[in-house]
Chains A and B, each alone.
Chain A
């Protein structure tokens, strides 16, 4: 389990620790890159939105089995608005939006996304493709 605090520099540090630990450290480059994008977007969303009123803990669990990475992320911040993760419709490129890409990236890359809120804890689970690197 990797713990961090819901603010950008702690998220950067927690993500760095995750990328350099099993199972992520052993993944093929392409899958490792996908995992870094998805985890960064989810963790930074928690820092920005769930903890918009103040910092709190984020806990990350990662497991690997049969070509999939299983991820579970918990925080104790505000619940997802409407009780479910955003649909993530991407901004049109020509509009030159400076935000709104995060959930589009997450939904483009992650599968089996499940969110629940219980006893003040947000729990987000999902899987990612994850082949282990050869050699």
Chain B
């Protein structure tokens, strides 16, 4: 589960490079996100634009990362592809995350 982190001003942007976050990779994803978000930042945006597929284990891992960051920071999401968007919408978990169309839009917006 390769992830690439970069600081954009005071925002930590983490890009998922794999095309799926599923049951086979969810634990690894969560552990790597925990390590990468140890870097202090005002905001954290997870760029999911490469991720074509996310299952309920992947969703659970994203929720777990959100809880790891709380209460100091919120996990913001960007670039949901159609299948990923569908999983968030059907579970109504799109109501608890700030979701940006893309990283650029997220960076322009004040967290």
Contact = CB atoms under 8 A, between A and B. Distances in A.
Answer yes or no: are A and B bound together in one complex.
yes
A101 interface: yes
Contacts, number: 74
Interface in A23-60: 29-30, 33-34, 36-37, 40-41, 44, 47-48
B37 interface: no
Contacts of B108: none
B82 A40 contact: no
Interface of B: 20, 22-24, 53, 55-57, 59-61, 63-64, 66-67, 82-83, 86-87, 90-93, 95-96
- A interface majority secondary structure: helix
Of A8, A29, A30, A48, chain B has the most CB atoms within 10 Å of the CB of: A8
B91 to A, nearest CB: 5
A87 to B, nearest CB: 15
A86 to B, nearest CB: 13
Given A33-B82, A37-B86, A109-B90, A47 B53 contact: no
Contacts of A120: none
A78 interface: no
Nearest to A44: B23
